[in-house]
Structure 1
């Protein structure tokens, strides 16, 4: 049994889901291992994400635990059979594992929901805007251009065949912070409008005038994968990247997103002519900001 020296978020998530099923069924690690002729230590390593489990044993274990949710079982099997290799693996030497985990999470998602308060979402940024953020950050980037390229490659999921849906709410404050100066910010706002033309991308702006949402200042990303059988919330802070999987906690973030999108202006819709769209929608606000940048 070969043990991984480091684990990815996907590997840890698979193990955590198996541990959750075992604990819900009331079995010990030893008892769980006996169901599939696996030793206590071996199953412990599986639950920690340090070693793999064959698909047939995974299915047998889930059924032994009394799990009847076939979509969940098949989602776990898909996770176990996933090699974890993608375009992001080329960046292993240049970027930290949490950054690679984000790309893998996005690539496996069916739907993405995000809220940003001070930045344009990374998956919607221009290279110049990204470069400006990295230069102003207190986080060192030994290879800045590689980091910029990585963030741009994340965007390819939005234009691939069968892309995930993306629904993002951006606080108006993020549209006023001029990373890189007037020209860079103007190009970034124009890029947002172009990205909103994609059929599965929805962009809304939360205006300064929105009331009662001070508690929602923390940015987050909610990802649905395998037909919502697995849901993940990612919350980034200066100290660490936190992944949340627990049902009640995920539900709170989903409810939080619903409140944010309800309070936000109507979505960007570049297909609607300027003469017919609402005077106070996300597109009108961006056009007003573009005009102010032109005058600056």
Structure 2
């Protein structure tokens, strides 16, 4: 059987199987002997290149003496997934990073983000997103910019439909950087206020004058899984997109988000703050 090119979610399932084996203190060959398979198959399952059925997953969990039934059930659910999601249409057309982000968001039970340099992608207008992509490090052709904007707007459906609760923590710097100029930013700020009124969206601003700001320097997204062990963090930096999912990393980022939430303005205060920035802009560019 030909080995597949695994998606991010398939790689995550494999990584959790490897973590389960390692916590049991087993080597790959030992687990293979318990399952009656080849060590090569264990390696292929753990790197996501070979599919794992829910039945096989539970067999592995039993062999590894994993007593965390909520985690095992959640992993069995992942193993049973077969239907292709909408973002698969873009595989081979877009780079892997934005598709990975859409996959994380599409399976999340709750989403949180913290952005410093720009408005979070899940709340960007088409004009703002176009300006962001057009000002990237590498110049893009118009059709490529349009493709990326279209993909970003499709990602927004899970938030705007109310399907997935979303907390957007936005630093004041992101509210003032004028991608596309004053008119584009003004429209974007108006859109933020409208989005903040959606029932499953919570928007909170971190002002410049926040004392002892505890946040990181990169833009972050935190996706809650069906159980805490399957949470995922995605971070943007000048070197690209990075995914974190180890228990220690998840604990660290949960603490980071907790500290940011503790100093951010309330929802109502945040709307008023955005309106005050819009008023400044209107006075300056009238």
State TM-score, norm by structure 2: 0.94
**Whole-Å separation in 2 of the counterparts to 1:136 and 1:214:** 29
Shift of 1:84: 6.3
State the shift of 1:101 in Å: 1.0
| Corresponding residue of 2:235 | 235
Shift of 1:211: 1.8
| d(CA) in 2 for partners of 1:181, 1:55 | 52
Which residue does the alignment assign to 1:278?
Answer: none
Q: 1:92 to 1:140 in 2, by over 3 A?
A: farther
**Residue in 2 aligned with 1:286?**
274
- Following TM superposition, by how much is the alpha carbon of 1:252 offset from its aligned partner in structure 2, in angstroms? 1.1
Unaligned runs of 5+ in 1: 270-280
Q: Report the equivalent of 1:79.
A: 78
| Long gaps (5+) in structure 2 | none
1:8-62: CA deviation from partner (whole Å, max 9, x where unpaired): 2111111111001101101111121223222100110111111111110111101
RMSD of aligned residue pairs (Cα, Å): 1.5
In the alignment, the residues of structure 1 paired with residue 139 and residue 10 of structure 2 have an alpha-carbon distance, to the nearest angstrom, of 27
Structure 1 residues 149-187: Cα deviation after superposition (integer angstroms, max 9, x where no partner): 000000000134x61111111000001101111111111
Equivalenced residues, count: 282
Structure-to-structure mapping, 1:121-160, within 5 angstroms:
121-142=120-141, 143-160=144-161
Paired with 2:119 and 2:83, the residues of 1 have a C-alpha distance of: 28
Distance across 1 between alignment mates of 2:137 and 2:147: 17
Question: How far has the Cα of 1:192 moved from its partner?
Answer: 0.6
Residue 114 of structure 1: aligned partner: 113
Q: Residues 166 and 127 of structure 1: is their aligned pair in 2 closer, same or farther, counting only changes over 3 Å?
A: same
Helix, strand or coil: the match of 2:168?
strand
- Structure 1 stretches of 4+ with a deviation exceeding 4 A read none
TM-score (norm 1): 0.91
Q: 1:227 to 1:27 in 2, by over 3 A?
A: closer
Aligned partners of 1:34, 1:84: CA distance in 2, in Å? 32
